[in-house]
Structure 1
């Protein structure tokens, strides 16, 4: 396996030269220079490196050796080892008597950079596998449970545990610079059994393991709100608890609907739990039916006569306050007589009496459908 790439080799060169102030060359396992402070030497074969590779030891090139070897200058060349292999050579240009004491330090620095690069790649590879797993769970219609359980085990995750699906949607203009930071923040907050990944739609989905939904949901919502307020002004939706793997897809879809409906109903909030808006989700689906147009014609009349929106606001607050007139009037900062006048006006325009339960339900349904369109 080729551990050194030209990009990584040059990174080692640049980092080491800043500290040492000497020219550095990095050669691959074929003795070819792939990184150097002297870019004109890149691509040339270095005989000193070939000798270091062949004998697997430090090779010092003094003034006399320069005339005997090809493509070399005075210096010290050390084999670089990683995972039990000799993977390349690092060379320091200069009189060996002057640079000998730095040689082992330079070699150690190169091996540390290589190790960091390897482990970073392993983390990124593992994250890509997680993303593939999560995307298949939320998008595919058919899920082989046993296969998914085995794949999740490779990450140390028991996918059979009950979990909530959390969808985080980021404003399009923020995706480039927020998503990675947000994923890192979320990952830091997650438990071992949780999964977080980017979706094909540039959202972040978290499969959050839970013990008890009723007990845990408040803490989860609070934590998500704090994270979103700190990192972005994105929105999050939380779907129902999944006790079976195939239910994850439906929970994801309901979490997305919770965001869509929630941001229209209450745009100041950051997190929407589907249970808080499931009635509105149902109404939004009703609003797509062909019958909805004729069924809510009366509301179009209200829209025409309610230029300021005060009648619609009155209906909304009246529902929020559970039909209590005093609380409704107080929240709207109006007298009860004004409230009564508004209800009479609504009835005159629509033919629906807000004091009548059936009529009020129709009015509120039409209000919600209109808001969600």
Structure 2
């Protein structure tokens, strides 16, 4: 329980309160950390007695002559969950250092508790992250996965909606305390599963067995994302899959990843069910996308004015008047550019088929 690294941390923190020599000793009486490096690893009989008797021991100048490895001062047992796990010693005039005793012991015990619960959080976080990633990859839960689910009190029999939250610009990696605060701030239901994934992603598997309304889930997510952004200055966005049966949870996760790509562009929350054209682009390979771009708008990729005109035409919903006004050009100049686009690409922006090809190519290019 009391490791050398923690013992050294205790010495460093206590040093801030008192200028006397400090030691931290294990229950066997061996000094684990000290402001005096020469005492490391030596036996301290006073601390050994303190750990056995479970009470404070004042060491006088007379005791120094009788006990091995001691100096005058005070030894205090360190308790954790009602058990002595070590001893902290303060060297000096007992009358001078004793008043600091209880304060230093309480501080030490708080440090140990904080460290313990921090380690528990880290252990649970790693266990949840590993479990969730294996769960999403498993076509069928194995006996081992089922056992781990029981240990983590997670039901694998509920329909769920996968949500992926990406933490964008911010200070990474986040500290343990920040992660703990973030994960505990989401108003989740008892069957929801929430875990971090790496340093910049949160995965949620939301219980949707009672038909969650998209507006309700979106409101919960908006509050959560707003809290992260305002509290920690992190830009954050999310992709949300559809409610699926336990056997097809990986489909919902794939949908969430697809929605996340679109959410990244405008730093928002995107539901997969809102996607239309993006459903197609998501399954195309980079090679197919590149080839499509070259076959369509390839000839005008270096013609900045023409490419900008095409982009603006789509932004203005194919309104020639609004496009010309937005680009600050005469309508005749716009007609000339559109004619030039047709000549170079062999695609006519005035026909539905060709217009769609141009639009789709521009979308792929932006991606």
For Structure 1 versus Structure 2, the TM-score category normalised by the shorter chain is: 0.7 to 0.9
For residue 78 of structure 1, give the secondary structure of its aligned residue in structure 2: strand
Look up the match of 2:313: 318
For residue 301 of structure 2, give the secondary structure of its aligned residue in structure 1: helix
Look up the match of 1:121: 119
Matched, 1:250 2:251: yes
For residue 202 of structure 2, give the secondary structure of its aligned residue in structure 1: strand
- Please list every run of 5 or more consecutive structure 2 residues that lacks an aligned counterpart in the other structure: none
TM-score, normalised to structure 2, is: 0.80
Cα deviation, residue 329, structure 1: 3.7
**Superposition RMSD on alpha carbons, in Å?**
3.6
TM-score, normalised to structure 1, is: 0.79
Q: Cα deviations across residues 114-135 of structure 1 (Å, max 9, x unaligned)?
A: 2222122222222222211232
Cα deviation, residue 34, structure 1: 0.8
Look up the match of 2:335: 340
Kindly report which structure 2 residues correspond to 1:88-99, keeping only aligned pairs within 5 A, or say none: 88-99=86-97
Look up the match of 2:201: 204
Aligned mate of 1:12, from 10, 13, 23: 10
Q: Cα deviations across residues 207-259 of structure 1 (Å, max 9, x unaligned)?
A: 16372124533663575367458756766340322333454433333443444
Look up the match of 1:26: 24
Look up the match of 2:240: 239
Cα deviation, residue 168, structure 1: 0.9
Measure, in 2, the Cα distance between the counterparts of 1:44 and 1:127.
38
Matched, 1:192 2:183: no
Kindly report which structure 2 residues correspond to 1:294-373, keeping only aligned pairs within 5 A, or say none: 297-303=295-301, 307-308=303-304, 310-372=305-367
Matched, 1:271 2:272: no
For residue 365 of structure 1, give the secondary structure of its aligned residue in structure 2: helix
Aligned mate of 2:59, from 58, 61, 64: 61
Kept in 2, the 8 Å contact 1:183–1:197? The answer is no
Greater CA drift, 64-73 or 186-195 = 186-195
Aligned mate of 1:40, from 23, 38, 42: 38
For residue 20 of structure 1, give the secondary structure of its aligned residue in structure 2: coil
Cα deviation, residue 44, structure 1: 0.5
Matched, 1:83 2:81: yes
Q: 1:119 to 1:286 in 2, by over 3 A?
A: closer
- Please list every run of 5 or more consecutive structure 1 residues that lacks an aligned counterpart in the other structure: none
For residue 368 of structure 1, give the secondary structure of its aligned residue in structure 2: helix
For residue 191 of structure 1, give the secondary structure of its aligned residue in structure 2: coil
Measure, in 2, the Cα distance between the counterparts of 1:292 and 1:123.
45
Measure, in 1, the Cα distance between the counterparts of 2:77 and 2:355.
82
Alignment: residue pair count: 359
For residue 130 of structure 2, give the secondary structure of its aligned residue in structure 1: helix
Kindly report which structure 2 residues correspond to 1:87-166, keeping only aligned pairs within 5 A, or say none: 87-138=85-136, 140-144=137-141, 151=148, 160=158, 162-166=160-164
Kept in 1, the 8 Å contact 2:160–2:244? The answer is yes
Kept in 2, the 8 Å contact 1:178–1:232? The answer is no
Q: 1:73 to 1:191 in 2, by over 3 A?
A: same
Measure, in 1, the Cα distance between the counterparts of 2:309 and 2:180.
44
Q: 1:243 to 1:192 in 2, by over 3 A?
A: same
Q: 1:357 to 1:221 in 2, by over 3 A?
A: farther
